[in-house]
Amino acid sequence: MRGINLHKAGMEGLDPETINKIIEENSKGSKFYENEMRRGAILKEQVEEKLAKLRSLSPADIEIGEKEADKLLRNFSAERRFDRCIIHIDMDAFYAAVEMRDDPSLRLKPLAVGSQSMLSTSNYLARRYGVRPAMPGFLGKKLCPQLIIVPPDFVKYTEVSRLVRSVLGEYCDGGASGLVVMSLDEVYLNITRHLMERAGWPPDRRTYWPRVTPKTPLLVCRCAKNNKDSTVNDFLVTSSTSNSPSKFPFTSSDKDSSKDSTASPSTPSSIISLVVGKDEALATCLLCGMLIKSGPRVFGTSAEEAVREMRFRIFCATKLTCSAGIAPNSLIAKIASDLNKPNGQYLVESTLEAVEAFISPLPIRKVPGIGYVTECNLKAFGVERIVDLWKRRGSLYHLASPTALNYYMRITLGHCEDEWANGEGAPVLGFSGQRSACQKSMSTERTFQDCSDPDILQAKCRQLCISLVKDMKEAHVQGKTVTMKLKLDTFEVRTRSQTLPDYTCSTEIIFQCASEILKDEAKAELANNSRALTLRLMGSNAFLVPTHFN
């Protein structure tokens, strides 16, 4: 059974053995458990096959592999650039944060967005219990009996996402059309030109008040101090000292917290940081979520100050916090944005030495594109950290696919091509390791209660396509290959693709294609398994090229 990802923001320091035991005991007999066992058996077989191949490699084979891998490293090294400033903005626990904003009574409670069958996200307090996205809600309740689950409202989340992009478009080289939108809560932007211009700006052009518009109230905490202190104290006591069984996942180190009160990620100060954030300048109140510091803010001209200004303005527009990574390319920026979550930022200087010092010691799971399955495979070969990818490059040459090997070698150098940042409108290179810069994908997906009604599934498919096309038009792109992601009630995930005759951004054409995929899959399920196609998640994806609309 898959373990929790201890490298995910808010999950650090948890006791995986205890949490995984609770999950396994309470999921036995469920479709989720059966799917996990099936996937585990397949993974074990894959690992054993590759280990057998590894044992068959001679020293000469490994030497050949090292030489071939070194060729890739030399080529990628020549491509590296350190003259750009790339930002990755990631909204903090986005769906849950929107719900807490709209209902402040939820702020100091473990919260997840989704349903009993599947969770889309969880807030940082819920993560301290091991509650994570893509987990069935009933298991979340077993880990945290007091967990509150609210249904998602994607109309609301989409509107908030547009507000975020409207702010970021003012900083992005190329304006709003230069933003690389990965999802509702995740955006890349290049601010290299902005920083050059910003260097000459007077202070008044870098000064902002904490309010939505000039004449609206200040977004500053006004909680009564006595009431606030009492509530915070109660919160800390129940969050860090309770002997309730529901408190177990905080960390195994909590048992020895008397030896080192600063060591545990569940000490009162650490719990508070999960709510108010890591950036003191933009810290928010535990109770109301408003900024603690009042008065105007004068931001500097450096990259760090420009990003702090962005984050401040995003808060003023949405009353939500975000985290950011600042780096010479999108790969490093993506990883960096996760290091000071929530409500923080991290800078990796644009030098060869800084990038290599940053990337080499990181656990491989910190890298986008390396999930549980890839992590298990790599760990079986002795790859725990990114530097190990270089040490094991001779073996990986024979064990990994060419695409995967390319990606691993890029990772060892902290390299990402980022053609999209050239200012020529080229789309972003994904983290798949593919060298083609002519494609990227845009996707949207929704989780829902198990559904087998063909009409309802078709209606959900249409709504997905409408949302996808809306995003495509905003990004000035068209698609040709449509992919449907289908998660069955058994938790099996299927992806099916179909290529259109021409590139398009027509809702009807894309929906017609997606609808046919859905119908074909329903027929196949009935023919092969004698049952109706029952889904709990549906996603639509299009591979894109840039275009221009009149």
Q: Enumerate the active-site residues.
A: 186
CA distance 249 to 252: 8
Closest CA to 192 of 299, 83, 346: 83
Q: Output the 3-class SS for 319-375.
A: CCCEEEEEECCHHHHHHHCCCCCCCCEEECCCCHHHHHHHHCCCEHHHCCCCCHHHH
The answer to whether 256 touches 267, Cβ cutoff 8 Å, is no
User: How is residue 157 written in tokens?
Assistant: 């989340």
Helix (H, G, I), strand (E, B) or coil at 292: coil
C-alpha torsion sign, points 244, 245, 249, 253? positive
Closest by Cα among 238, 16, 7 to 125: 238
Q: How far apart are CA 333 and CA 231, in angstroms?
A: 37
Joined together, the tokens standing for residue 175 give 């304006």
Q: Residue 76, Cα to own-chain centre: how many angstroms?
A: 26
Distance (Å, whole) CA 507 – CA 454: 20
Structure tokens at 76: 């990628």
Other residues' Cβ atoms within 10 Å of the Cβ of residue 245: 8
